[in-house]
Amino acid sequence: MSKVVAVIGASNNRQKFGNRAVRAYTREGYTVIPINPHEDVIEGLRAYASVLDVPGPIDMASFYVPPEIGERVIEEVAQKQIPEVWFNPGAESDALVARARHLKLRPVVACSVVALGQNPYAL
């Protein structure tokens, strides 16, 4: 069974890292759930407005939104009981990481695409 990842801030713009992450995770065999309140489909995958709209469990969330948006979304991630959260470059803040820890989540501040062993600029 593949790991389920929610890409927070997924995009149809193939130049944006929120799109590159969707493609990278898909390439690595993950079940990818794009999260974007303004899109219905991203890279051929059904997109959801919120992680709370997704049926079934999610193993991890990868953030590609500014910290001020992340500070709202992290509450939904905790409510959905997504244990692992990745704050990619530009999505992190000290307050957001502290809030994730307070909510008993496991925050990782790093580029999730690089952690997959891929070059995000080559996608």
**Using one digit for the tens of pLDDT, what is the confidence trace for 44-65?**
999 999 999 999 999 999 999 9
First-last CA distance in the chain: 25
Q: Are 89 and 112 in contact (CB under 8 A)?
A: no
Distance of alpha carbon 46 from alpha carbon 71, whole angstroms: 24
Level-2 CATH architecture, domain 4-122? 3-Layer(aba) Sandwich (3.40)
For the entire predicted model, the pTM comes to 0.95
**Separation in Å, CA 22 to CA 7, 64, 96:** 7, 11, 22
User: How many of the other CB atoms lie within 10 Å of CB of 72?
Assistant: 9
Kindly report, residue by residue over 72-103, the tens digit of the pLDDT.
999 999 999 999 999 999 999 999 999 999 99
